A and B are shown apart, each in its own frame.
Chain A
Amino acid sequence: MEKLLDLFIGNPLGLACVGAHYLYFALPAWIVLAVRLSLRRLSRLEGLCFAIFSLFVVLEIVQLSVDRSFLRRELWGLARYFGVFAPFLWLWTAKAAADIWCAPVRRRAVRLALRATVAAALLAVAVFGNVVEIARAVTHGFGSEALAAARNIAPKIRADYAGPARQKVVRRTGGEYFTTRRPVVFGNFAAAAWAVRGQSEGAEENRVPSLCPYRPDYLFICLGRKGQTEFTVDIDETKYDYVTGVPGKETVWGLFRRKTTPHR
């Protein structure tokens, strides 16, 4: 039943989300495709390219459905899987733009108006799309404040951390892998882990081994703004000890160590 839900509800919903992500590029492409198909003007190469694009999408759905992760993934994750196929669809968006740009219109004013429309649309996409996307990436993907504070504390964590030498046996797949010698650092931003050259990822129930299949070794959390007299942090004190506070540019950060983390 769960598989059926994945297949008939989850996947189309997910695809709709991803399609919406690229709507301003994808919509003209679908219109051009529909028109060229209905007029029987689709060339053999176009047909081949479209068939390959469709095949990509179907195969990706199948692959993501095998481990039933399609429904679990958020839009950002899905966009990364399906977005790589988008340039094939843009071929028809480009065709639309090129056809409008060079439309055989006799009146110069109309021709100029058509070209201005194409140019304005492209400019709008370029400016708003990139500005919004980059602003989102800057504010969510990184945190310069967190990085500054993490750089201050990184040498201390590296000196403090004493193990483990290796992570053993992943039962689902057997064998050993040795990539968890770096401390697992959780924080408000992944920048904390990068400054320590550590890792930052939660335990996962995937069928493939996770990078960090256990509890974080260190928590590096923003306590509040500088000058604040009292801080309230929701940390399980039975599992984590407060190690030290670290000043950032405008904020104060606290380092907590798991009680069972091997340290010097």
Chain B
Amino acid sequence: MDWVAIGLTVKLAALTTLVLAIVGLPLAYWLATTRRRWRAVVDAAVAVPLLLPPTVLGFYVLMSTGPNTAVGRLYERLFDATLPFSFTGILLASVLYNLPFAVRPFASGFASVDRRLIEAARCLGASGPRTFLTVVLPLSWPAVLAGLVLAFAHTVGEFGVVLMVGGNIPGVTRTIALAIYDDVQALDYAPANEASALLVVFAVAVLGVTYSLQRRALPL
């Protein structure tokens, strides 16, 4: 078993999920509550990775973060490093690619919270963020948890985006899905079989968890 690849994969999935919680929760809340026309555009933009082949997204991330691009130059000046073929690079790509898997469950959870409860909280002197933490989140946590679990699981099984942006550098960007591919290319079926079985068990477990969360009524 390639423990280095497994460790790297878990690290990537955990950090992706963390970033998605920080970026995705406010974004989803905005999508669920705003009445601005912009909403539809942002909603569609978030959903785009659902339809795009991962290689296409990876290709554009690679193209827009190279050392000769504005983003690449800025990043190099700030951190003295390059994004492509680095762990940070695949983290960025993962976050973008997984945005809909986290944001859509979040947003549908938030939208199902009675708007009057939010208004009541505001009229009782609670600020927007406070209302979010004390009313919205406690009433929609199953959806939030489902979104986080889905994003984590989806990152674990990712292939195309990571390969395009990260290459296949052991210990840096070689995730378990890439390791399986390598093993098969080398006709080394035993480790590929082990890792694949592990991923199947993981996927089934995650599905079980999300389904039970979705079926769970509000914790009243």
A and B are interacting partners: no
